[in-house]
Structure 1
Amino acid sequence: MTAIEQTEARPRGTRLPRRARRNQLLGAAQEVFVAQGYHAAAMDDIAERAGVSKPVLYQHFPGKLDLYLALLDQHCEALVQSVRAALASTSDNKHRVAATMEAYFAYVEDEGGAFRLVFESDLTNEPAVRDRVDKVSLDCAEAVSEVISEDTDLPPDQAMLLAVGLCGMAQITARYWLSAGQKVPRDTATRLISSLSWRGIAGFPMHG
């Protein structure tokens, strides 16, 4: 049984440990926010999707923005951790580039659509949301720039600029690939973008 089916099957009022209830509410909220956007989503919809009463929902999240920010924190951290894991997965820089591109493509392809909350939010005029969206991009770039700085003779500011470019390429191409209907198989798409990225970054001198 999938998580969605479990949510649908859970009778209203079933008692859960607090952490499990919070995760259940976040899962229901994600489905509603992804489908409807922040502005069109209602706490009533989320409570109904989770199979709980509104008072139960408000016990965990005082308002809709609090719920949205909790989801953003969760999924921004997931992307950063995925990029860091990709970089740590090998000491071969060509493979590091490929693993990082794969991390972005896998992130946008996730069936829950969490990337839409991060990169396609309809609430970017809200400072708390904008700060989180900017921070996840910078955190991913900083992780990449650390590797570039360690392995090349480039100063930190230049390494960061290159890292922002690499991560921006990964994010934009992955989102385009998904919106275009995934006409190119994912492994082929990541190989193409990895090759493009590697041919660029490989031109910078290594230490020594």
Structure 2
Amino acid sequence: MQKTAIRKLTKPERRAQLIETSKEILRECGADALTLGHLAERAGVSKPIAYEHFGTREGLLIALSREIEERHTEKLRKALQDAPTDLSSVAGVISAVYVGCAVENGAEWQAMSGALRGNAEMDLVQQELADEYVALVGAALAPFSRLSVDDLRLRCTGIAGAAEAIAREFVRGRTTEDHAAANLAVLIAKAVG
């Protein structure tokens, strides 16, 4: 009987595998269960491999947060490329993508955010990611606004906060996906129109 050679994963492939396994642990067991030791065991690798990729539990949670936010931003960029060129449609795209990402990652995101509250490094990462999101939304809404650049940025910051709060209501089961997206779209349009 001939043995089949098992291909060793490249470092980026291993990191992606560890990120996906981390999401499974978050979904199934919650943030308290997500440790580098548990991750290594679940992924079938040694603890040093998990530590090599993330350093600490906080490093792992920050990597997960970045991955989720970067995926969300990319989805929004793509959706905006194909959006009709009126305020209502653009607001609808922004809200649908945001709520769609809450559907996809809501419980995981809430668990990670809670686990990292007060972590200085995570605060910096969240601010960086929020600034990127606000800039993307601002650029999409600028053609429909007579606001100054600074006022538009502040309103988009408020939109991001409202989007997070509405998404949290959805994750908690207090509204439907469609209802959350529709109300967020109205808020966006009124904020800049």
- The offset of 1:81, in angstroms, is 2.2
Q: In 2 relative to 1, CA 111–74 (structure 1 residues): closer, same or farther, beyond 3 Å? A: closer
Q: In 2 relative to 1, CA 159–199 (structure 1 residues): closer, same or farther, beyond 3 Å? A: closer
Q: 2:181 maps to what in 1?
A: 190
List gaps (5 residues or longer) in structure 2: 1-5
**Cα pair 1:22 1:60 within 8 Å, conserved:** yes
Letter in 1 for 2:93: A
Q: 1:26 maps to what in 2?
A: 19
**2:72 counterpart of 1:79:** yes
Output aligned runs, 1:47-66, within 5 Å.
47-66=40-59
Letter in 2 for 1:96: V
**2:167 counterpart of 1:174:** yes
Aligned residue pair count: 186
Letter in 2 for 1:187: D
Q: Which shifted more, 73-82 or 45-54?
A: 73-82
* Greater relative contact order structure (CA < 8 Å, 6+ sep): 2
Identity %: 23
Q: 2:3 maps to what in 1?
A: none
Q: 1:101 maps to what in 2?
A: 95
- The offset of 1:69, in angstroms, is 2.3
Aligned to 1:110, the other structure's residue is in SS state helix
Q: In 2 relative to 1, CA 180–74 (structure 1 residues): closer, same or farther, beyond 3 Å? A: same
Aligned to 2:114, the other structure's residue is in SS state coil
**Cα pair 2:54 2:60 within 8 Å, conserved:** yes
Q: 1:206 maps to what in 2?
A: none
Aligned to 1:96, the other structure's residue is in SS state helix
CA distance in 1, matches of 2:16, 2:108: 14
Letter in 2 for 1:95: S
Q: In 2 relative to 1, CA 193–53 (structure 1 residues): closer, same or farther, beyond 3 Å? A: same
Structure 2 length normalisation: TM-score? 0.81
**Cα pair 1:80 1:136 within 8 Å, conserved:** no
CA distance in 1, matches of 2:75, 2:145: 23
Structure 1 length normalisation: TM-score? 0.76
**Cα pair 2:106 2:167 within 8 Å, conserved:** no
List gaps (5 residues or longer) in structure 1: 1-12, 203-208
Between Structure 1 and Structure 2, which shows a larger proportion of helix residues? Answer: 2
Q: In 2 relative to 1, CA 201–20 (structure 1 residues): closer, same or farther, beyond 3 Å? A: same
Q: In 2 relative to 1, CA 122–56 (structure 1 residues): closer, same or farther, beyond 3 Å? A: closer
